[in-house]
Structure 1
Protein backbone atom coordinates (compact mmCIF):
# COMPACT_ATOMS: atom_id res chain seq x y z
CA UNK A 1 0.00 0.00 0.00
CA UNK A 2 1.18 3.60 -0.58
CA UNK A 3 3.27 5.16 2.19
CA UNK A 4 2.17 8.55 3.55
CA UNK A 5 5.03 9.11 6.00
CA UNK A 6 8.14 7.25 7.05
CA UNK A 7 11.19 7.27 9.26
CA UNK A 8 14.42 6.13 7.62
CA UNK A 9 17.43 5.15 9.74
CA UNK A 10 16.03 7.56 12.32
CA UNK A 11 18.00 8.28 15.47
CA UNK A 12 16.71 10.38 18.36
CA UNK A 13 18.76 11.31 21.41
CA UNK A 14 17.49 12.31 24.85
CA UNK A 15 20.56 13.90 26.38
CA UNK A 16 23.30 11.27 26.55
CA UNK A 17 20.90 8.43 25.75
CA UNK A 18 19.67 7.35 22.33
CA UNK A 19 15.91 6.77 22.24
CA UNK A 20 15.72 5.50 18.64
CA UNK A 21 18.54 3.43 17.17
CA UNK A 22 18.31 3.99 13.43
CA UNK A 23 14.76 2.71 12.93
CA UNK A 24 12.90 2.30 9.64
CA UNK A 25 9.13 2.73 9.94
CA UNK A 26 6.47 3.03 7.25
CA UNK A 27 3.07 4.63 7.86
CA UNK A 28 0.67 3.73 5.03
CA UNK A 29 -1.63 6.30 3.47
CA UNK A 30 -5.32 6.42 4.41
CA UNK A 31 -4.83 3.91 7.22
CA UNK A 32 -4.34 3.61 10.96
CA UNK A 33 -0.89 2.51 12.12
CA UNK A 34 -0.34 1.54 15.76
CA UNK A 35 3.03 1.86 17.51
CA UNK A 36 3.15 -0.61 20.39
CA UNK A 37 5.66 -0.80 23.20
CA UNK A 38 6.23 -0.28 26.87
CA UNK A 39 7.34 3.00 28.39
CA UNK A 40 10.78 3.82 27.10
CA UNK A 41 10.35 1.72 23.95
CA UNK A 42 10.65 4.72 21.63
CA UNK A 43 7.02 5.18 20.60
CA UNK A 44 6.80 8.83 21.67
CA UNK A 45 10.21 9.58 20.18
CA UNK A 46 9.00 8.24 16.84
CA UNK A 47 5.90 10.45 16.94
CA UNK A 48 7.96 13.48 17.99
CA UNK A 49 10.42 12.86 15.17
CA UNK A 50 7.57 12.88 12.65
CA UNK A 51 6.06 16.02 14.18
CA UNK A 52 9.40 17.84 14.42
CA UNK A 53 9.13 18.19 18.20
CA UNK A 54 12.61 16.68 18.57
CA UNK A 55 15.45 16.88 16.04
CA UNK A 56 16.81 13.76 14.42
CA UNK A 57 20.37 12.89 15.39
CA UNK A 58 20.53 10.83 12.21
CA UNK A 59 18.33 9.60 9.39
CA UNK A 60 15.29 11.23 7.84
CA UNK A 61 11.60 11.89 8.49
CA UNK A 62 9.61 11.77 5.25
CA UNK A 63 6.10 12.93 4.41
CA UNK A 64 4.76 12.16 0.96
CA UNK A 65 8.31 11.44 -0.13
CA UNK A 66 9.66 14.79 1.04
CA UNK A 67 12.37 15.10 3.68
CA UNK A 68 10.85 17.16 6.51
CA UNK A 69 14.20 17.92 8.15
CA UNK A 70 14.03 21.60 7.25
CA UNK A 71 10.43 22.10 8.42
CA UNK A 72 9.51 23.39 11.87
CA UNK A 73 6.55 22.02 13.83
CA UNK A 74 4.53 25.06 12.78
CA UNK A 75 5.32 24.50 9.11
CA UNK A 76 4.33 20.84 9.34
CA UNK A 77 1.06 21.79 11.01
CA UNK A 78 0.31 24.26 8.23
CA UNK A 79 0.82 21.44 5.73
CA UNK A 80 -1.82 19.28 7.43
CA UNK A 81 -0.18 17.55 10.39
CA UNK A 82 -1.76 17.47 13.85
CA UNK A 83 -0.40 15.89 17.02
CA UNK A 84 -2.08 15.11 20.34
CA UNK A 85 0.61 14.46 22.96
CA UNK A 86 0.24 12.30 26.02
CA UNK A 87 -0.67 14.40 29.03
CA UNK A 88 -3.60 16.42 27.67
CA UNK A 89 -2.14 19.16 25.55
CA UNK A 90 -4.66 21.97 26.04
CA UNK A 91 -4.44 25.71 26.53
CA UNK A 92 -5.56 25.79 30.13
CA UNK A 93 -6.31 29.52 30.34
CA UNK A 94 -8.63 29.37 27.32
CA UNK A 95 -12.19 28.09 27.29
CA UNK A 96 -13.10 24.83 25.61
CA UNK A 97 -14.74 26.82 22.80
CA UNK A 98 -11.58 28.87 22.30
CA UNK A 99 -9.43 25.73 22.22
CA UNK A 100 -11.64 24.25 19.52
CA UNK A 101 -11.61 27.45 17.49
CA UNK A 102 -7.82 27.34 17.46
CA UNK A 103 -8.04 23.95 15.81
CA UNK A 104 -9.84 25.04 12.67
CA UNK A 105 -13.15 24.82 10.82
CA UNK A 106 -14.27 21.39 12.02
CA UNK A 107 -15.73 22.38 15.40
CA UNK A 108 -19.28 21.26 14.52
CA UNK A 109 -18.02 17.79 13.57
CA UNK A 110 -16.08 17.59 16.84
CA UNK A 111 -19.15 18.39 18.92
CA UNK A 112 -21.12 15.73 17.05
CA UNK A 113 -18.39 13.21 17.85
CA UNK A 114 -17.95 14.34 21.47
CA UNK A 115 -21.29 15.81 22.63
CA UNK A 116 -19.86 15.70 26.16
CA UNK A 117 -18.01 18.91 25.28
CA UNK A 118 -21.13 20.97 24.55
CA UNK A 119 -21.88 21.68 28.21
CA UNK A 120 -18.21 22.57 28.77
CA UNK A 121 -17.76 25.12 25.98
CA UNK A 122 -17.72 28.11 28.33
CA UNK A 123 -15.36 26.58 30.90
CA UNK A 124 -11.62 27.07 30.99
CA UNK A 125 -9.84 23.94 29.86
CA UNK A 126 -7.40 24.02 32.77
CA UNK A 127 -10.11 23.29 35.35
CA UNK A 128 -11.51 20.22 33.58
CA UNK A 129 -10.89 16.63 34.57
CA UNK A 130 -8.14 14.67 32.88
CA UNK A 131 -10.51 12.84 30.58
CA UNK A 132 -12.32 16.06 29.63
CA UNK A 133 -9.03 17.75 28.80
CA UNK A 134 -8.12 14.78 26.64
CA UNK A 135 -11.35 15.23 24.69
CA UNK A 136 -10.57 18.91 24.20
CA UNK A 137 -7.10 18.05 22.89
CA UNK A 138 -8.61 15.55 20.44
CA UNK A 139 -11.26 18.04 19.44
CA UNK A 140 -8.76 20.76 18.66
CA UNK A 141 -6.67 18.38 16.54
CA UNK A 142 -9.68 16.97 14.68
CA UNK A 143 -11.15 20.43 14.10
CA UNK A 144 -8.10 21.15 11.93
CA UNK A 145 -9.14 18.28 9.61
CA UNK A 146 -5.55 17.04 9.40
CA UNK A 147 -4.19 14.82 6.67
CA UNK A 148 -1.72 13.23 9.10
CA UNK A 149 -2.85 12.76 12.70
CA UNK A 150 -0.42 11.64 15.43
CA UNK A 151 -1.81 10.44 18.78
CA UNK A 152 0.24 9.47 21.84
CA UNK A 153 -1.66 7.09 24.16
CA UNK A 154 -5.01 8.73 23.40
CA UNK A 155 -7.13 6.59 25.73
CA UNK A 156 -5.70 8.05 28.95
CA UNK A 157 -8.54 9.17 31.21
CA UNK A 158 -11.28 8.16 28.78
CA UNK A 159 -14.10 5.75 29.47
CA UNK A 160 -14.15 2.55 27.40
CA UNK A 161 -17.25 3.78 25.55
CA UNK A 162 -15.63 7.08 24.55
CA UNK A 163 -12.40 5.28 23.60
CA UNK A 164 -14.34 2.91 21.35
CA UNK A 165 -16.13 5.86 19.74
CA UNK A 166 -12.80 7.59 19.12
CA UNK A 167 -11.27 4.47 17.60
CA UNK A 168 -14.26 4.00 15.32
CA UNK A 169 -13.91 7.61 14.18
CA UNK A 170 -10.20 7.15 13.48
CA UNK A 171 -10.85 4.05 11.38
CA UNK A 172 -13.67 5.79 9.50
CA UNK A 173 -11.44 8.81 8.90
CA UNK A 174 -8.75 6.57 7.49
CA UNK A 175 -11.28 5.06 5.11
CA UNK A 176 -11.96 8.62 3.92
CA UNK A 177 -8.27 9.32 3.32
CA UNK A 178 -6.76 10.42 6.63
CA UNK A 179 -3.51 8.86 7.82
CA UNK A 180 -3.33 8.12 11.56
CA UNK A 181 -0.37 7.05 13.69
CA UNK A 182 -1.30 6.04 17.23
CA UNK A 183 1.03 5.04 20.06
CA UNK A 184 -0.22 2.61 22.72
CA UNK A 185 1.00 0.03 25.21
CA UNK A 186 -1.46 -2.63 24.05
CA UNK A 187 -3.71 -3.19 21.07
CA UNK A 188 -7.43 -2.96 21.94
CA UNK A 189 -9.94 -4.96 19.94
CA UNK A 190 -11.51 -1.68 18.83
CA UNK A 191 -8.39 -1.07 16.70
CA UNK A 192 -8.41 -4.49 15.06
CA UNK A 193 -9.08 -2.67 11.79
CA UNK A 194 -5.70 -0.94 11.86
CA UNK A 195 -3.59 -1.61 8.78
CA UNK A 196 -0.19 -2.04 10.42
CA UNK A 197 1.25 -2.60 13.87
CA UNK A 198 4.88 -1.81 14.70
CA UNK A 199 6.28 -3.07 18.00
CA UNK A 200 9.22 -1.16 19.46
CA UNK A 201 11.55 -2.26 22.23
CA UNK A 202 14.41 -0.17 23.59
CA UNK A 203 14.53 2.02 20.53
CA UNK A 204 14.39 -0.74 17.94
CA UNK A 205 11.63 -2.22 15.78
CA UNK A 206 11.13 -5.85 16.78
CA UNK A 207 7.97 -6.57 14.78
CA UNK A 208 5.94 -5.12 11.93
CA UNK A 209 2.76 -6.78 10.74
CA UNK A 210 -1.01 -6.93 10.93
CA UNK A 211 -3.08 -6.64 14.13
CA UNK A 212 -4.12 -10.31 13.91
CA UNK A 213 -0.50 -11.35 14.38
CA UNK A 214 -0.32 -9.80 17.85
CA UNK A 215 -1.05 -12.00 20.86
CA UNK A 216 -4.73 -12.62 21.73
CA UNK A 217 -6.18 -9.68 23.60
CA UNK A 218 -3.78 -7.27 21.95
CA UNK A 219 -1.22 -7.53 24.75
CA UNK A 220 2.52 -7.64 24.47
CA UNK A 221 4.28 -10.73 25.85
CA UNK A 222 6.56 -10.54 28.92
CA UNK A 223 9.48 -9.50 26.73
CA UNK A 224 10.51 -9.47 23.08
CA UNK A 225 13.15 -12.16 23.61
CA UNK A 226 10.45 -14.57 24.71
CA UNK A 227 8.07 -13.36 22.01
CA UNK A 228 10.40 -14.18 19.12
CA UNK A 229 8.69 -11.55 16.98
CA UNK A 230 9.81 -12.00 13.36
CA UNK A 231 11.77 -9.07 11.97
CA UNK A 232 10.54 -7.80 8.60
Structure 2
Protein backbone atom coordinates (compact mmCIF):
# COMPACT_ATOMS: atom_id res chain seq x y z
CA UNK A 1 0.00 0.00 0.00
CA UNK A 2 1.07 3.57 -0.40
CA UNK A 3 0.34 6.95 -1.90
CA UNK A 4 1.77 8.19 -5.18
CA UNK A 5 5.37 7.13 -5.57
CA UNK A 6 5.65 6.24 -1.86
CA UNK A 7 4.75 2.56 -1.80
CA UNK A 8 5.17 0.09 1.04
CA UNK A 9 5.58 -3.68 0.77
CA UNK A 10 5.35 -6.16 3.64
CA UNK A 11 7.73 -9.14 3.69
CA UNK A 12 6.78 -12.26 5.66
CA UNK A 13 9.47 -14.90 6.25
CA UNK A 14 9.24 -18.30 7.96
CA UNK A 15 10.52 -18.49 11.49
CA UNK A 16 13.26 -20.88 10.36
CA UNK A 17 14.94 -18.14 8.27
CA UNK A 18 17.74 -16.37 10.06
CA UNK A 19 18.44 -12.67 9.55
CA UNK A 20 21.17 -13.19 6.95
CA UNK A 21 18.86 -15.16 4.64
CA UNK A 22 16.14 -12.52 5.03
CA UNK A 23 18.53 -9.69 4.13
CA UNK A 24 19.84 -11.59 1.07
CA UNK A 25 16.34 -12.24 -0.25
CA UNK A 26 15.30 -8.61 0.29
CA UNK A 27 18.38 -7.33 -1.55
CA UNK A 28 17.74 -9.76 -4.41
CA UNK A 29 14.14 -8.60 -4.61
CA UNK A 30 15.13 -4.92 -4.70
CA UNK A 31 17.75 -5.61 -7.38
CA UNK A 32 15.19 -7.45 -9.53
CA UNK A 33 12.67 -4.68 -8.99
CA UNK A 34 15.24 -2.08 -10.04
CA UNK A 35 15.83 -3.99 -13.30
CA UNK A 36 12.15 -4.53 -14.09
CA UNK A 37 10.47 -1.19 -13.25
CA UNK A 38 12.31 0.96 -15.87
CA UNK A 39 10.91 -1.33 -18.57
CA UNK A 40 7.27 -0.75 -17.62
CA UNK A 41 7.33 2.73 -16.10
CA UNK A 42 9.22 5.04 -13.73
CA UNK A 43 12.46 3.57 -12.34
CA UNK A 44 13.00 2.62 -8.72
CA UNK A 45 14.89 5.10 -6.56
CA UNK A 46 17.21 2.70 -4.80
CA UNK A 47 18.77 5.51 -2.75
CA UNK A 48 15.31 6.12 -1.21
CA UNK A 49 14.41 2.44 -0.74
CA UNK A 50 14.88 1.07 2.76
CA UNK A 51 13.72 -1.78 4.99
CA UNK A 52 12.78 -1.78 8.68
CA UNK A 53 11.19 -4.26 11.06
CA UNK A 54 9.32 -1.78 13.24
CA UNK A 55 9.24 1.57 11.44
CA UNK A 56 7.46 2.60 8.25
CA UNK A 57 6.02 5.64 6.50
CA UNK A 58 2.56 5.70 4.97
CA UNK A 59 2.84 8.67 2.66
CA UNK A 60 4.38 11.19 5.08
CA UNK A 61 2.82 9.58 8.15
CA UNK A 62 5.46 7.90 10.38
CA UNK A 63 4.61 4.82 12.48
CA UNK A 64 6.93 3.11 14.98
CA UNK A 65 6.00 -0.13 16.77
CA UNK A 66 2.43 0.39 15.63
CA UNK A 67 2.18 3.86 17.24
CA UNK A 68 1.88 7.04 15.16
CA UNK A 69 4.65 9.61 15.50
CA UNK A 70 4.43 13.38 15.32
CA UNK A 71 4.74 14.98 11.91
CA UNK A 72 7.22 17.51 13.30
CA UNK A 73 10.02 14.95 12.97
CA UNK A 74 9.98 15.20 9.20
CA UNK A 75 9.76 18.99 9.27
CA UNK A 76 12.54 19.26 11.84
CA UNK A 77 14.86 17.60 9.34
CA UNK A 78 14.57 20.80 7.31
CA UNK A 79 16.21 22.77 10.12
CA UNK A 80 19.72 23.34 8.81
CA UNK A 81 21.75 26.49 8.21
CA UNK A 82 22.10 26.12 4.44
CA UNK A 83 19.54 27.45 1.96
CA UNK A 84 18.81 27.22 -1.77
CA UNK A 85 19.39 30.89 -2.55
CA UNK A 86 21.70 31.85 -5.42
CA UNK A 87 23.69 34.05 -3.02
CA UNK A 88 23.44 32.44 0.42
CA UNK A 89 23.63 35.02 3.18
CA UNK A 90 23.01 35.05 6.91
CA UNK A 91 19.65 36.74 6.31
CA UNK A 92 18.38 34.13 3.86
CA UNK A 93 19.65 31.20 5.93
CA UNK A 94 18.10 32.48 9.17
CA UNK A 95 14.82 33.28 7.40
CA UNK A 96 14.70 29.71 6.08
CA UNK A 97 15.42 28.37 9.57
CA UNK A 98 12.63 30.47 11.06
CA UNK A 99 10.09 29.34 8.46
CA UNK A 100 10.95 25.67 9.01
CA UNK A 101 10.77 26.14 12.78
CA UNK A 102 7.23 27.51 12.61
CA UNK A 103 6.27 24.67 10.28
CA UNK A 104 7.63 22.08 12.71
CA UNK A 105 6.10 23.49 15.90
CA UNK A 106 2.71 23.65 14.17
CA UNK A 107 2.67 19.84 14.24
CA UNK A 108 3.85 19.23 17.79
CA UNK A 109 2.92 20.32 21.31
CA UNK A 110 6.45 19.79 22.62
CA UNK A 111 8.37 22.73 21.25
CA UNK A 112 11.48 22.73 23.43
CA UNK A 113 13.41 20.13 21.44
CA UNK A 114 12.53 21.77 18.13
CA UNK A 115 13.62 25.17 19.42
CA UNK A 116 16.90 23.69 20.67
CA UNK A 117 17.60 22.30 17.18
CA UNK A 118 16.77 25.71 15.75
CA UNK A 119 19.18 27.47 18.14
CA UNK A 120 21.89 24.91 17.42
CA UNK A 121 21.61 25.51 13.67
CA UNK A 122 21.52 29.29 14.14
CA UNK A 123 24.84 29.15 15.97
CA UNK A 124 26.22 26.99 13.16
CA UNK A 125 25.03 29.56 10.62
CA UNK A 126 26.81 32.37 12.44
CA UNK A 127 29.96 30.31 12.89
CA UNK A 128 30.08 29.40 9.22
CA UNK A 129 29.57 32.96 8.00
CA UNK A 130 32.10 34.37 10.48
CA UNK A 131 34.80 31.87 9.58
CA UNK A 132 34.23 31.48 5.84
CA UNK A 133 31.81 34.08 4.43
CA UNK A 134 30.61 33.32 0.90
CA UNK A 135 30.58 36.89 -0.40
CA UNK A 136 33.78 38.28 1.17
CA UNK A 137 37.45 37.87 0.37
CA UNK A 138 38.48 37.07 3.93
CA UNK A 139 36.80 36.13 7.22
CA UNK A 140 35.03 38.82 9.23
CA UNK A 141 37.49 38.75 12.19
CA UNK A 142 40.33 39.64 9.81
CA UNK A 143 38.36 42.58 8.41
CA UNK A 144 37.64 43.86 11.91
CA UNK A 145 41.28 43.49 12.89
CA UNK A 146 42.37 45.45 9.83
CA UNK A 147 39.87 48.28 10.42
CA UNK A 148 38.02 48.00 13.76
CA UNK A 149 35.76 50.99 13.06
CA UNK A 150 32.24 51.38 11.74
CA UNK A 151 30.48 54.41 10.29
CA UNK A 152 27.13 55.14 11.93
CA UNK A 153 24.57 57.67 10.72
CA UNK A 154 23.51 60.21 13.32
CA UNK A 155 21.34 63.33 13.53
CA UNK A 156 24.27 65.43 12.38
CA UNK A 157 25.22 65.90 8.76
CA UNK A 158 28.54 64.12 9.18
CA UNK A 159 28.38 60.41 10.08
CA UNK A 160 29.97 59.21 13.29
CA UNK A 161 32.85 56.75 13.38
CA UNK A 162 32.90 54.37 16.33
CA UNK A 163 35.43 51.78 17.41
CA UNK A 164 34.24 48.20 17.62
CA UNK A 165 35.08 46.48 20.86
CA UNK A 166 33.68 43.04 20.12
CA UNK A 167 34.72 39.48 21.02
CA UNK A 168 34.63 38.72 17.30
CA UNK A 169 38.12 40.23 16.98
CA UNK A 170 39.56 37.38 19.06
CA UNK A 171 42.28 35.30 17.44
CA UNK A 172 40.30 32.09 17.70
CA UNK A 173 38.32 29.87 15.36
CA UNK A 174 35.63 29.34 18.02
CA UNK A 175 34.13 32.65 19.06
CA UNK A 176 33.11 33.38 22.67
CA UNK A 177 29.62 32.58 23.87
CA UNK A 178 28.72 36.21 24.53
CA UNK A 179 28.93 36.92 20.82
CA UNK A 180 26.25 34.34 20.04
CA UNK A 181 24.15 35.46 23.02
CA UNK A 182 24.11 38.96 21.58
CA UNK A 183 23.16 37.75 18.09
CA UNK A 184 20.47 35.31 19.26
CA UNK A 185 18.85 37.86 21.60
CA UNK A 186 18.51 40.62 19.03
CA UNK A 187 15.58 39.95 16.66
CA UNK A 188 14.74 41.95 13.58
CA UNK A 189 12.37 44.24 15.51
CA UNK A 190 15.36 45.51 17.50
CA UNK A 191 17.64 45.93 14.50
CA UNK A 192 19.12 42.42 14.42
CA UNK A 193 18.75 39.38 12.21
CA UNK A 194 15.48 37.45 11.62
CA UNK A 195 15.84 35.57 14.91
CA UNK A 196 12.87 33.85 16.55
CA UNK A 197 12.62 34.13 20.34
CA UNK A 198 11.03 31.18 22.12
CA UNK A 199 7.82 32.93 23.31
CA UNK A 200 7.12 33.92 19.70
CA UNK A 201 6.44 30.29 18.77
CA UNK A 202 4.02 29.97 21.69
CA UNK A 203 2.02 33.11 20.80
CA UNK A 204 2.11 33.64 17.04
CA UNK A 205 0.69 36.76 15.42
CA UNK A 206 0.95 39.12 18.40
CA UNK A 207 -0.28 42.55 17.23
CA UNK A 208 2.79 44.43 18.52
CA UNK A 209 5.81 42.24 17.91
CA UNK A 210 8.26 44.92 19.05
CA UNK A 211 6.69 45.22 22.50
CA UNK A 212 6.46 41.44 22.72
CA UNK A 213 10.17 40.99 21.94
CA UNK A 214 11.17 43.71 24.42
CA UNK A 215 9.05 42.04 27.12
CA UNK A 216 10.66 38.68 26.29
CA UNK A 217 14.19 40.03 26.56
CA UNK A 218 13.33 41.92 29.75
CA UNK A 219 12.05 38.71 31.33
CA UNK A 220 15.24 36.93 30.30
CA UNK A 221 17.35 39.78 31.70
CA UNK A 222 15.70 39.44 35.12
CA UNK A 223 16.28 35.69 35.35
CA UNK A 224 19.67 35.26 33.63
CA UNK A 225 23.07 35.07 35.22
CA UNK A 226 25.05 38.26 35.74
CA UNK A 227 27.61 37.39 33.05
CA UNK A 228 24.79 36.96 30.49
CA UNK A 229 22.94 40.18 31.28
CA UNK A 230 25.06 42.53 29.18
CA UNK A 231 23.76 41.40 25.77
CA UNK A 232 20.00 41.72 26.48
CA UNK A 233 20.49 45.02 28.31
CA UNK A 234 21.96 46.60 25.17
CA UNK A 235 18.96 45.48 23.13
CA UNK A 236 16.26 46.85 25.42
CA UNK A 237 18.07 50.09 26.30
CA UNK A 238 19.15 51.65 22.99
CA UNK A 239 20.51 55.17 22.70
CA UNK A 240 17.57 57.43 21.68
CA UNK A 241 17.82 59.93 18.85
CA UNK A 242 17.79 63.65 19.55
CA UNK A 243 15.09 64.28 16.93
CA UNK A 244 12.10 62.38 15.58
CA UNK A 245 12.44 60.54 12.30
CA UNK A 246 9.14 61.36 10.56
CA UNK A 247 9.75 59.08 7.59
CA UNK A 248 10.45 56.15 9.90
CA UNK A 249 7.39 57.02 11.98
CA UNK A 250 5.11 57.00 8.91
CA UNK A 251 6.61 53.76 7.63
CA UNK A 252 6.33 52.01 11.01
CA UNK A 253 4.21 53.87 13.60
CA UNK A 254 5.42 51.68 16.47
CA UNK A 255 9.11 52.41 15.77
CA UNK A 256 9.09 55.71 17.68
- Normalised by the length of structure 1, the TM-score is 0.25
Larger relative contact order (Cα-Cα within 8 Å, sequence gap ≥ 6): 1
Flag the structure with higher strand content: 1
- Normalised by the length of structure 2, the TM-score is 0.23
Flag the structure with higher helix content: 2
